[in-house]
Amino acid sequence: MKVASELSFYASTDGELAYRDSGAGDLVVLLHSGYVDHRVFDDQTPALVEAGYRVIAADIRGHGWSANASEPFRWADDLAGLLQHLDAGPAVLAGVSMGGAVAGDTAIEYPELVRGIVLSGASASDFKYTYEATQQVVADSLRTLHSGDVEGWLEVFLRGVAGPFRSAGDVDPALLDRLREMALHTIAKHTPGERDWHVPMTDTWARVPKIDVPVLTINGSLDSPDLIADAERYARTARNGRSVTVEGTSHYPNLERPEEFNALLLDFLRGL
């Protein structure tokens, strides 16, 4: 088994976007959560390559080694541009949190490039948290981020990783160290109060019923209850969707239970 160790770069119309391209076979694109980068899938890429898949793990614009935005952009357009540049696809898009939203947006906007989607800790990209404890984490995150309080923001970020029913002390310290390193790398690319150029899609729930590729949602049982409910709703609303739960995990089942997550993902892929 050979997993590429070097990043490649795609020259978009607004700077270079980084990605790791490994293996050969049917294409799986891995899309990370907010503030981190492609390394969040270091437990998934080798397993997928070993199973005979080509894996692209991308750094979403403004994250990891990808360029920051200097003009308006949409996630789906960036990913479509990368796949078209590589003359690759249709692909299975598997995303965690923000990455799941990217996957769903791309399936809606560029259906010809997608043959299946896996959303973990995610639903439609216009999802809004309604659970009070999680709303507080989101508010604290924005407050510390905009004030430039990096240490305070990092504490809130790791609180969010644990989910509303645990503290960060209940999570494997090695996992938190991995996420901390990635988050600090991405945060260092930005300045407090800078303009957010991302243009969100606002009509995604209305378009989910038109998604006609297989959909799998993977939810950690300890994640925010509103997110779990909406992920399950997403699976019911899509034409061919199903939802599964990974016990004892929150927003990152791929990190907390990698073997179980990988088995679910591979089972989905083999069923296509």
CA distance 39 to 21: 12
CATH number of residue 214's parent domain: 3.40.50.1820
Same domain, 52 and 75: yes
DSSP state of 221: T
pLDDT class for 5, splitting at 50, 70, 90? low
Q: Is the predicted pLDDT of residue 6 greater than 90, yes or no?
A: no
Q: What is the pLDDT of residues 8-31, one digit of tens each?
A: 999 999 999 999 999 999 999 999
pLDDT digits (tens, 9 = 90+) for 87-97: 998 999 999 99
Q: What's the domain range around 171?
A: 132-187
In this structure, the answer to whether residues 168 and 122 fall within a common structural domain is no
Residue 2: φ, ψ to 5°: -125, 125
The amino acid present at 47, given as its one-letter code, is A
pLDDT digits (tens, 9 = 90+) for 188-228: 999 988 999 999 998 999 999 999 999 999 999 999 999 99
Sign of the Cα torsion 36, 38, 127, 69 reads positive
pLDDT of residue 150: 93
In the predicted structure, residue 2 carries a pLDDT above the cut 80: no
- Give per-residue pLDDT as tens, 84-121: 999 998 999 999 999 999 999 999 999 999 999 999 99
> pLDDT exceeding 90 applies to what percent of the chain?
94
Count of structural domains, the chain? 2
Residues 42, 154 share a domain: no
120 shares a domain with 229:
yes
Cis peptide before 90 (omega within 30 of 0): yes
Considering the domain architecture, whether residues 219 and 116 belong to the same structural domain is answered as yes
